Amino acid sequence: MPGMLGRILGPPPASQPRDPKRESTSRGRTKADADGEPTTDATVRRRIEKQVRDAAGDKLQSLEVRVSGRNVLIVAKPTWFWQKRGIRRTLETLPALDGYRARIDLDN
């Protein structure tokens, strides 16, 4: 973008090279599905719960994970209200949520 607006906004970000391995897992299949091993909702739920507990630790008062196909709902209650933003950011960056449509609800 030339001109004043281009100076304010800066150059556009460079596009990332595509990884063919990642594309196959992002179309609704996980690595376990690609290996021929079916993943059930219960195993996905346990894996996500473990990662959340490891990442958030004692900052969570309660945690509930619901998995239905490719949809994941995480309902968590922080120990203190000021930990809400940090917990949300931690949960959004979990590697277990890649390939899923995740919704995170934090209660007070």
pLDDT in tens, 40-93: 888 999 999 999 999 988 899 999 999 998 999 999 999 998 999 999 999 999
The pLDDT assigned to 38 comes to 57
In this structure, what CATH number is given to the domain that contains residue 93? 3.30.70
Give the residue with greater pLDDT, 66 vs 15: 66
The answer on pLDDT for 96 being more than 80 is yes
Q: Is 71 inside any structural domain?
A: yes
Question: Given pLDDT bands bounded at 50, 70 and 90, which one contains residue 97?
Answer: confident
Give the residue with greater pLDDT, 28 vs 12: 12
Q: Is 74 inside any structural domain?
A: yes
Q: Counting Cβ atoms within 10 Å, is residue 48 exposed (0-12), middle (13-18) or buried (19+)? A: buried
Residue 60's domain spans which residues? 40-106
Q: Is 11 inside any structural domain?
A: no
CA pair distance 25, 20, nearest whole angstrom: 9
